[in-house]
Amino acid sequence: MTELLIRNACVIDPLNDICGEVMDIAVRDGKIVESVGSGAEVIDAGGSLTMPGGIDSHTHICGTKVNFGRYMSPEDMRAGRTARRGHMHSTSGYSVPTTYGTSYRYSAMGYTTALEGAMAPLEARHTHEEFTHTPLQDMMANTLFDGNWPIMQAIHDGDIRRAAAIVGWTLSAVKGFAIKLTNPGGTEAWGWGKDVASIRDPVPHFEVTPAEIIRAMIEANEMLNLPHSVHLHCNCLGKPGNHQCTLETFDLVPNANNKRQSLYATHVQFHSYGGSSWRDICSRSEEICRAINSKPQIVIDMGQVMFGKTTTMTADGPMEFNLYRLYHNKWSNHDVELETGSGIIPVYYSRKNLVNSIMWSIGLELALLTDNPWQCILSTDNPNGAPFVKYPEIMALLMSKRYRNEIFGTVHPDTEHNVPLAAIDRELTWNDIAIMTRGAPAKALGIEDLGKGHLGEGADADIAIYPININETDPATSAEEVIRAFGQTDYTIKRGRVVCRQGTCMVDGKNTTIWVDPHISENYSMDHDPEFAKNFDRYYTVRMSNYPVQEEYIRRNLCIETEAQL
């Protein structure tokens, strides 16, 4: 039995409605408890801001595509190197750090849980291998279903139950966590070098539309009783005028679940553009937020862009090719048979560039114009909008109008004619930030009942203590303080153990992989479906028996078993 007592913690824990109360937190064997004995190890927080460990509900840090981002970028690798030291392995990389680099930097910022945003089922083993080497965060994997042949065929045949059964079989085979759709239908069209132009544009050969895929997957998701909702990267990412596509997509979404949203729309900044070309692109954040404010069934994350160098990577192959033609920098693409695609290019977001300045502005607007912070999660779609190490700056921008104005003064001068940002006075509170980085992601992912994202009794003792006193610091006037404090915790505690102390990781660490295993009746089991098996062995290049991710890859894990209505 190990016990820990954190004294004088100034706690913000939105899921438990605690906001700035100074209290003690007791921990036994990795869980929050009512009280501990006198022999417990004591940490005196001295009134510092204490929150549940941060949760990134959309980030790209592990797997084939991420690793290719590293592989093709020795120039990015040399931009952030540290030597082996104590329990810390050597690290490399700035925008796409090595797995250890990612894990240590997240940990230093108080993050203890992360969802990898896109895992191709065929390459799932790779993602899980990298999870093993990301020791200080519990990990989950969004699983890609945007161009899945048997699923599109089932949808085309109007058999949503079969589509659900295939999703269920796949998630449990590849140890995935949730349904991810990246440019649904578009990644299949990209198999011929094409894309879909709208949610009503049918996918070549399969004759289903993105709208039908999205609707069917939302329905299937609820049939499977999955903890998270469908996680959607809308069609038409990054195209001027794409706000129409986004709004039409939002209109498809029923209110199908009373515990959480029915659709998680990711990196909405990249989907909120007006105009018809790069010349007249403008922000449509107001319309997007109006829709969100009237639809509690939708939760989004920001996809904030920050200025500087980064690497874009997504399963959205056609979009990356368009970016390549724009920037003419190096371009990688990796299509995955029967399932999905992906693309990677390095980018530099410049404040001198009008389009980049508008993008920067839109992300902030989304967070400021969404009335309910539970509906808008803080993200950069790491590393697409910016590396996650920029989160503290984003927090400061959201909390301080003054700081926002200061940065706004440095961007392209025409930005103000194209965005509403300057007119928005809202300043987010400490509590809002805690919601956007803890409570809301936990709730949206459906993992609050597993003890994530809060500090109630029985919760996992994942705790971040930041070196700042919120009663003495006015975030509206102290942006620098806010950035410094959120940039490095005094203590990051994972499962009751101090894993990072002022930026230095203290343990080798061992994480947990969270995955789902929907229980499906024999009638719908793909293991005994001759049609599924026949097509599998005919069209894949890996045998069906070699496809599932073996137990060896998920050493410590938490399996969420659900009862599917199938």
Distance of alpha carbon 517 from alpha carbon 359, whole angstroms: 38
Candidates 28, 89, 162, 284; binder of other proteins (CB under 8 A) is 89
Positions in 236-255 near other proteins (CB under 8 A): none
Distance of alpha carbon 484 from alpha carbon 466, whole angstroms: 9
Distance of alpha carbon 252 from alpha carbon 402, whole angstroms: 38
What single DSSP character describes residue 422?
G
Can you tell me which residue has the tokens 């299937």? Answer: 220
Q: Are 198 and 172 in contact (CB under 8 A)?
A: no
82 binds other proteins (CB under 8 A): yes
Which span sits near other proteins by CB under 8 A: 230-238, 257-265, 448-456, 544-552?
544-552
Copy the structure tokens of residue 165: 């059964």
67 binds other proteins (CB under 8 A): yes
Q: Among residues 68 and 403, whose Cβ is nearest to other proteins?
A: 68
- Distance of alpha carbon 243 from its chain centroid, rounded? 21
Positions in 328-367 near other proteins (CB under 8 A): 329-338, 341, 344-345
Candidates 247, 540, 557, 558; binder of other proteins (CB under 8 A) is 540
258 binds other proteins (CB under 8 A): no
153 binds other proteins (CB under 8 A): no
Strands (DSSP E) along 108-157, which ranges? 111-119, 138-144
For residue 264, the SS3 value is strand
Q: Among residues 81 and 260, whose Cβ is nearest to other proteins?
A: 81
Candidates 38, 258, 277, 541; binder of other proteins (CB under 8 A) is 541
Number of residues that bind other proteins (CB under 8 A): 65
93 binds other proteins (CB under 8 A): yes
Q: What is the largest CA-CA distance in the chain?
A: 69
Candidates 42, 422, 542, 559; binder of other proteins (CB under 8 A) is 542
545 binds other proteins (CB under 8 A): yes
Return the amino acid letter for 531.
Answer: E
Q: Which of 429, 440, 436, 499 has the alpha carbon at shortest distance from 464?
A: 499
Question: What is the distance between the terminal CA atoms of the chain, rounded to a whole angstrom?
Answer: 42
- Indicate the pairing of strand 491-494 with strand 497-501: antiparallel
For residue 277, the SS3 value is coil
Strands (DSSP E) along 79-224, which ranges? 111-119, 138-144, 178-182
515 binds other proteins (CB under 8 A): no
Which span sits near other proteins by CB under 8 A: 136-144, 184-192, 211-219, 365-373?
184-192
CB of 373 to other proteins, least distance (A): 34
77 binds other proteins (CB under 8 A): yes
149 binds other proteins (CB under 8 A): yes
60 binds other proteins (CB under 8 A): no
Positions in 425-444 near other proteins (CB under 8 A): none
Q: Which of 11, 43, 46 has the alpha carbon at shortest distance from 27?
A: 43
Candidates 413, 480, 521, 539; binder of other proteins (CB under 8 A) is 539
Binding pattern for the stretch 295-334 against other proteins, x by CB under 8 A and - elsewhere? --------------------------x--xx---xxxxxx
Distance of alpha carbon 153 from alpha carbon 213, whole angstroms: 10
Copy the structure tokens of residue 128: 């899980």
Which span sits near other proteins by CB under 8 A: 99-107, 159-167, 420-428, 467-475?
99-107
Q: Which of 385, 346, 325 has the alpha carbon at shortest distance from 56?
A: 385
Binding site for other proteins (CB under 8 A): 62, 64, 67-68, 70-75, 77-78, 81-84, 89-93, 97-101, 122-123, 125-126, 129-130, 133, 149, 190-193, 205, 321, 324-325, 329-338, 341, 344-345, 538-543, 545-546, 550, 552
